[in-house]
Amino acid sequence: MSDQLARILDAKREEVTVRSARTPLADLRRLAEAMPKPRSLASALLPGRFSHAEPASPPVRLIAEIKRASPSKGPLRPDLNPAAYAKAYARGGAAALSVLTDGPFFCGSLDDLKAARDAVTLPVLRKDFTVSEYQIYEARAAGADAILLIVRAVTEAFLRDALALCEALSLDALTEVHDERELEAALRCGARIVGVNNRDLTTFQTFLETSLRLRAHIPEDRIMVAESGIRSRSDIERLAAAGIFNFLVGESLVRASNPENAVRHLIQPFSGEAVKNADNQRA
């Protein structure tokens, strides 16, 4: 685990302690269990698998991210309006949203998530560092449709329990892995949506080869999402040629002068040759 990740997780545990003192777990659980049924992230991503049934439709499904900053890049869009970006992403054709809710390191909040979700009908992922069941109930009480679980950040026992709790609350979980060992743990624990993070958490460099390498080890009955380092249409086409059709993209969209057009550009239909290559990979 990198020093940066360790610092974030330590801060997150302290944050959970403070928040749970303000709103006890029992109260939060009641709020979460009283929420309407979430929107399905899994259903939004399943069409991302290439199908001859819809040859004119873009096989790409994009989780478009809303974030103001990151520890590695600093401020990205400090004045970001979550509702406006959510609407722009939806108009551009995004399948779902990801909203950073960490405050100290990403300048986000649960209010950002609420504002984004209220603005659109897309499923919304709470992207944060989940280290406690408290945060899972908190996410559902705030209206999140899915949460992020990072294999490297938790024990396997916690991951298994967290996935079970998500199922009980009808929440989807994007379970994030960085290598083969973490992927094996995610699959053992029953992860249905597997996010492959292309970012090396030690150097913070990104390598699309990580997704390309792990793709072959993810069963067909699971949903794969490629994360980090996806900046251009050529990146999308390279990964799609390997049978990867679901993507989480943040920085390039947040920095774009026109986020709606940026989304539309990434998910545009493939050319005949690109479709043929993707089909060959899926055969």
175, 191 contact by CB (below 8 A):
yes
From first CA to last CA, the distance across the chain in angstroms is 37
Residues 183-199, mean pLDDT to the nearest whole number: 97
- DSSP states of 203-231 as a string? T--B-THHHHHHHTTS-TTSEEEEESS--
Classify residue 272 by burial, with Cβ atoms within 10 Å: 0-12, 13-18, 19+.
Answer: exposed
pTM summary value: 0.91
Longest dimension (CA), the chain: 58
* Mean pLDDT, the chain, integer: 91
Residues 179-208, mean pLDDT to the nearest whole number: 92
Residues 228-243, mean pLDDT to the nearest whole number: 93
% residues pLDDT > 70 (the chain): 91
Cα 196 vs. chain centroid, distance in angstroms? 10
The answer to which of 84-88, 125-129, 204-208 has the lowest mean pLDDT is 204-208
Q: What is the pLDDT of residue 55?
A: 44
pLDDT exceeds 90 at position 136: yes
Collect all residues with Cβ–Cβ distance below 8 Å to 239 and sequence separation of at least 6. 208, 211, 212, 226, 230, 247
The CATH superfamily holding the domain 3-50+58-282 is Aldolase class I (3.20.20.70)
Q: What is the pLDDT of residues 139-158, one digit of tens each?
A: 999 999 999 999 999 999 99
Residue with tokens 């970001």: 80
- Quote the CA–CA distance of 59 and 258 in Å, as a whole number: 22
Confidence of residue 271 (pLDDT cuts 50, 70, 90): low
Long-range Cβ contacts of 258-263 (<8 Å, 24+ apart): 258/88, 259/64, 259/85, 259/88, 259/89, 259/92, 260/88, 260/89, 260/91, 260/92, 261/92, 262/92, 263/62, 263/64, 263/88, 263/89, 263/92, 263/93, 263/94
Q: What is the pLDDT of residues 48-97, one digit of tens each?
A: 444 434 444 448 999 999 999 988 888 999 899 999 999 999 999 999 99
Q: In the chain, where are the structural domains located?
A: 3-50+58-282
- Quote the CA–CA distance of 1 and 201 in Å, as a whole number: 8
Confidence of residue 274 (pLDDT cuts 50, 70, 90): low
Classify residue 18 by burial, with Cβ atoms within 10 Å: 0-12, 13-18, 19+.
Answer: exposed
pLDDT exceeds 90 at position 167: yes
Instruction: List the structure tokens of 108.
Output: 């986000």
The answer to which of 75-89, 118-132, 200-214 has the lowest mean pLDDT is 200-214
Residue 21 φ then ψ, to 5°: -70, -30
% residues pLDDT > 90 (the chain): 83
Interhelix angle 233-240/272-282, rounded to 10 degrees, is 40
**Residues classed as catalytic:** 65, 67, 127, 176, 197, 227-228
pLDDT exceeds 80 at position 250: yes
Other beta carbons less than 10 A from residue 34's beta carbon: 9
